[in-house]
Amino acid sequence: MKRRVFLKASAANCILFFACTKKQTGTYTHYLNPEIGKETTLEGDIIHVCPIEGKKMKLRLADGEIICVLPADNHPFDKGQWDRKKVRISGILQEAQLPRRAILTNYQDKKLLCHIDHSVCIDAEWVENRWKDGSAERLIERDHEDLQKRMYETKQSYVQVFSIIAHTIAEV
């Protein structure tokens, strides 16, 4: 008889534990959210400058977060000046939401994505070369899995993409 009571009590405790520790759907808040729409300063490494028009750069923060850097004056970034440099950027932080439906559509349409902001890649030559060398399918799968994982981890039906409209950029 004691064993049955113990098992019932153990089962009840497990249910209570998981009910209390389960993350609530829709309550995830990214640490950058309070900065959206405000002047902010970010520091990290420029790990890529888009070769098409030089209109965006990929900034990796110390914690691995990726931020799309856009020029405030619409002039292209000089790849040689910023690529592979540690920088401090001041500007207005913005957020875009990439909805689940758009992610699925790009996957089904076999679109190669920009690894900066997850939009469809506009570098036609690069895209063509990925199909020729056979790596396109693998890249499409990888990107889709990564975006799905981010949605699962945050319990959101979209992926947040942060960008900063850069007023000043300085090497540190």
Percent of the chain with pLDDT over 70: 84
Residue 139: exposure state from Cβ atoms within 10 A (0-12, 13-18, ≥19) = middle
- Does 68 score more than 60 pLDDT? yes
Q: Write down the pTM of the prediction.
A: 0.79
Inter-residue contact 169 to 70 (CB < 8 Å): no
Tens of pLDDT, residue by residue over 77-112, are 887 889 999 999 999 999 999 999 999 999 999 999
Q: Using 50, 70 and 90 to split pLDDT, how confident is the model at 30? A: confident
**Contact between 98 and 161 (Cβ < 8 Å):** yes
